[in-house]
Amino acid sequence: MDASTFSTRWHGSLRPTGLAFLVLLLTGVSSRGASNPADDTERMRKAQQALEKTMALYDRVYAKFSSEAIRVSGAGTKAEYEWWRDGDNIRATRKILNPPGEEPATWNDEHALREGVLTTVTQVEFWRKDLHRPEDREHANLQSGDRKKFPGGDLWNATLLSACDSLGLWKDFWALSTYEHQPASALRGFDGPGIESRRKQDPPHTLIVYLDPAHDYLPRRKLAYNYPGRFDPNKRHAELEVVDYFTRAEGLPSAFPKKIRARFYGEGGASRPPNIEATYTISCVRVPDSMPAAVFRIKIPEGYPVVDFIMAKHYIMGPDGEPNPGTLRDLPARLRR
């Protein structure tokens, strides 16, 4: 999850709390004073173990959440989501509403990842300014996929939990990977361990993530940027922070993010406003005992154009959930994956 991922027009926006967090990242001031590298390494190992235990509790989860966006132009976008996960199977629905007169006016999509196959169904209403009325468009596609490639805007990204995947915390933290990890500068008033992760190959990408020991070591803050070297607040970057949590007292096995704030900056001076400010609010989260397999199946409506990257075909969906035989065509070579 990087800054470019979050700069799409359907991602939300946050009211900034000031640049204090960015200043602290630059100064590296710590309430703990000077630290010992060996101590920091051991601290992160323990944090990794604690985080893995917490995340295992959410191998099966259902949630509803929303986002509200404000771009630098002042225009706003709202979206509502439902999200299911059972191991590597995931399903999500998303409804986006842009202000009247903007394109697209509405955007509804549904994604289901089941047994390595990702099905996406999209219905978009574009506002035709020349005709002063909306125009509908719809399509679907099937392709191979996995949890890390699940489309943006999902619960994992919004709650910073995708940072766990990017940092390699699902496996051995110190195993060889495409990233190099090291302790990050500590933040004043925050006692959680920080992890700085840099991509070894081009293009450059750096994540700085802080885990919160007061909330079962879930990610609390994240900074992401796509240029070499140290963080520069004048360059393009993304910053996210969990500002409120669900707790065990609310019927969950551990803490879980409740409200997340985000800022997405372009190039400019340190005092510039963010290009996009986002607020994500989770209204409901449950850990059910089981989920029927049918939850992760999506029916593609009759008449929808379908691009099937697995079969390398494209067609119009028929009435019985099978391709209309008269429309079945080979996918052009340039589109095959």
Which DSSP string do the residues of 291-303 spell out, in sequence order? --GGGG--PPPTT
Same domain, 154 and 255: yes
- The rounded Cα 334 to chain-centroid distance in angstroms is 29
The pTM assigned to this predicted structure is 0.77
Do 53 and 78 meet the contact criterion of CB atoms below 8 Å apart? no
Helix, strand, coil percentages for the chain (3-state, nearest 5): 20, 40, 40
Same domain, 311 and 194: no
Cα–Cα dist 103/263, whole Å: 23
- Number of domains into which the chain is organized: 2
Domain containing 310: what range?
A: 299-335
Cα–Cα dist 301/43, whole Å: 52
Exposure class string for 148-187: b at 16+ Cβ within 10 A, else e? eebeebbbbbbbbbbbbbbbbbeeebeeebebebebbbbb
Same domain, 76 and 213: yes
Same domain, 117 and 233: yes
Whether 24 shows a pLDDT value over 70: the answer reads no
Give the pLDDT mean for 167-194: 69
Considering Cα of 11, then 15, then 21, then 22, what sign does the dihedral take? positive
The strand pair at 305-308 and 133-144 is best described as parallel
Same domain, 244 and 323: no
Q: What are the residues whose beta carbons fall under 8 Å from the beta carbon of 303, sequence distance 6 or more?
A: 316, 317
Give the pLDDT mean for 225-231: 90
**What is the phi-psi region of residue 146: left when phi exceeds 0, alpha when psi lies from -120 to 50, beta otherwise?**
beta
**Minimum mean pLDDT range among 9-23, 32-46, 79-93, 144-158:** 9-23
CATH code at 22? Answer: 2.50.20
Q: Encode pLDDT of 34-93 as tens digits.
A: 567 778 778 877 888 888 889 889 999 999 999 888 877 777 788 899 999 998 899 999
Which DSSP string do the residues of 27-50 spell out, in sequence order? H---TT-S--HHHHHHHHHHHHHH
Q: What per-residue confidence (pLDDT) applies to 30? A: 38
For residue 337, how many other CB atoms are within 10 A of its CB? 8
Q: Encode pLDDT of 252-274 as tens digits.
A: 999 999 999 999 999 988 789 99
Q: Which value, in Å, is the radius of gyration of the alpha carbons in the chain?
A: 21
Q: What are the residues whose beta carbons fall under 8 Å from the beta carbon of 197, sequence distance 6 or more?
A: 166, 167, 168, 179, 180, 181, 206, 207, 208, 209
Same domain, 209 and 303: no
Same domain, 219 and 316: no
Q: What per-residue confidence (pLDDT) applies to 68? A: 87
Same domain, 28 and 44: yes
Same domain, 14 and 138: yes
Higher-pLDDT residue of 228 and 15 is 228
Selection from 183-192, 269-278, 291-300 with the highest mean pLDDT: 291-300
Same domain, 321 and 254: no
Tokens of 149: 């490639």
Bridge partners, residue 123, by sequence: 108, 138
Same domain, 150 and 225: yes
Tokens of 218: 């879930």
Same domain, 316 and 168: no
